[in-house]
Amino acid sequence: MKDPKYKRILLKLSGESLSTDTEVIDPVILGQYAEEIKRVHDLGVEVAIVIGGGNIFRGASAAKAGIDRVQGDYMGMLATVINGMAVQASLEKQGLYTRMMTALKVEAVCEPFIRRRAMRHLEKGRIVIFGAGTGNPYFTTDSTASLRAIEIEADVVLKGTRVDGVYSADPEKDPTATRYTHLSFAEAIGKGLKIMDTTAFTLCQENNVPIIVFDMNKEGNLAALVSGEDVGTLIS
């Protein structure tokens, strides 16, 4: 395979992507993701990961349960730590070295997020998993992904989803929906495409960090994308 197009990537995964109808965290999906990440790591790419917590708890929907939004958001942040630890375990099973860094102090299981230390881990070939969001309520894990990507000077944010890019309409509902291969940030905003929340999107736009939306569940997709093949939708 040719040399990778990107040297350092920030991979954003949703918490829901880890779950099935019967499992909150499915070991088969975890194993599959770990294999995909190992392929990319073996190409010499530095990998950082941000994972959501929606399979366990979603802060935004806490109000329905009578939980204060701020409290709910902190619960959501802790959910991302659980998911991060699961991803960490599956990566280590593949023989990879990892570090988990969190925005909230959970020192028994992970390091606090320190930018310089995170960059040093990446330079040494360790996979860094960022947990607990930004450490602040009202910020999504998409915003965390954008923020951390900028902080660690990643070349690109890769948003792994169930569909192979951004479409003109929901491809699961509309058979005439077409996939965009490239969009500018202005076009994506103008078309009202829900790629990431506005805060996350604006952070990437203002700091010139491209976003690629792709299908994480297709075997070999991540490695193909990093190698510069036409996978997913590039927003830049």
Q: Judge contact between 26 and 19, C-beta under 8 A.
A: yes
Lowest mean pLDDT among 79-83, 160-164, 210-214: 160-164
Please give the pLDDT value at position 65.
84
- Is the confidence at residue 154, as pLDDT, over 80? yes
Please give the pLDDT value at position 204.
97
Please give the pLDDT value at position 108.
96
- Is the confidence at residue 2, as pLDDT, over 60? yes
Measure the CA–CA gap between 144 and 150, rounded to whole angstroms.
Answer: 10
Q: Confidence class of residue 169 from pLDDT cuts 50, 70 and 90?
A: confident
Could you count the other beta carbons within 10 Å of the beta carbon of residue 24?
Answer: 14
**Torsion over CA of 200, 202, 205 and 210, rounded to 10 degrees?**
20
Please give the pLDDT value at position 81.
98
Question: pLDDT for 30-46, tens place per residue?
Answer: 999 999 999 999 999 99
Question: pLDDT for 192-207, tens place per residue?
Answer: 888 899 999 999 999 9
Q: Judge contact between 231 and 166, C-beta under 8 A.
A: no
Is residue 206 packed enough to be buried (19+ CB in 10 Å), middle (13-18) or exposed (0-12)? Answer: exposed
Listed by start position, the domains of the chain span 8-235
| Edge-to-edge strand list for the sheet holding 8-13 | 111-112, 98-102, 127-131, 46-51, 8-13, 156-161, 211-215, 233-235, 182-183
Residue type, 146: S
- Is the confidence at residue 151, as pLDDT, over 80? yes
Please give the pLDDT value at position 3.
86
Q: Confidence class of residue 59 from pLDDT cuts 50, 70 and 90?
A: confident
- Strands, DSSP E only, in 111-224? 111-112, 127-131, 156-161, 166-167, 179-180, 182-183, 211-215
Please give the pLDDT value at position 172.
80
Lowest mean pLDDT among 77-86, 108-117, 142-151, 186-195: 186-195
- Is the confidence at residue 1, as pLDDT, over 70? no
Q: Does domain 8-235 have CATH number 3.40.190.10?
A: no
Measure the CA–CA gap between 191 and 37, rounded to whole angstroms.
Answer: 32
Q: Mean pLDDT across the chain, nearest whole number?
A: 95
Please give the pLDDT value at position 62.
83
Please give the pLDDT value at position 125.
98
Question: pLDDT for 87-140, tens place per residue?
Answer: 999 999 999 999 999 999 999 999 999 999 999 999 999 999 999 999 999 999
Q: Judge contact between 50 and 154, C-beta under 8 A.
A: no
